[in-house]
Amino acid sequence: MTDPLARRGLYRLIYASRATDPAGLDEDLPAIVAKSIQNNRIDDITGFLAAGEGRFLQVLEGPGQVVAEVYERIGRDPRHDEIVLIADGLAERRLFRDWNMGQRRLEAEDASALAEVGLEHFTPAGLDEERALRLLITLGARHLR
């Protein structure tokens, strides 16, 4: 986040990362989401986390300064590695306003959502902003079912 003025408005940040312990992902994910929900309620952050194949794709929305602080905290979290910033910038409106942190653990039925954005496997670090958002929105809709 380079523009200091952007830290004052509604901001959206999307990143991908790899779990340092992919085998422990099933155990770590509920704790990550529970803590995120708790913190995000206080900080006025909304977003969505997709996890699978030892990888994460997450969008954060909220006040720019707070989003920047959350992203910095994620960067220090030893459960994440190979963090790639996909997009960050001002947002006109929240796309994930219904969740302080919604999440979906990818399943076999999500292969069609991956294919829609050109992925055969869940390797989100190579997505651009448009495809990452499309995937997160699709997975979010499945989360609501």
Annotated domain spans of the chain: 4-144
| Structure-token pair, residue 33 | 């989401």
Q: pLDDT-based confidence at 126, cuts 50/70/90? A: very high
Find out if CATH 3.40.50.300 is the number for domain 4-144: no
Residues 6+ apart with CB under 8 A from 116: 134, 135, 138
- pTM for this predicted structure: 0.88
pLDDT digits (tens, 9 = 90+) for 1-49: 445 545 568 999 999 999 888 777 777 778 777 887 787 888 899 999 9
d(CA 53, CA 36): 21
Q: Within 11-97, where are the H helices?
A: 25-43, 64-76
Residues 6+ apart with CB under 8 A from 57: 14, 15, 16, 49, 50, 51, 122, 124, 127, 132, 135, 136
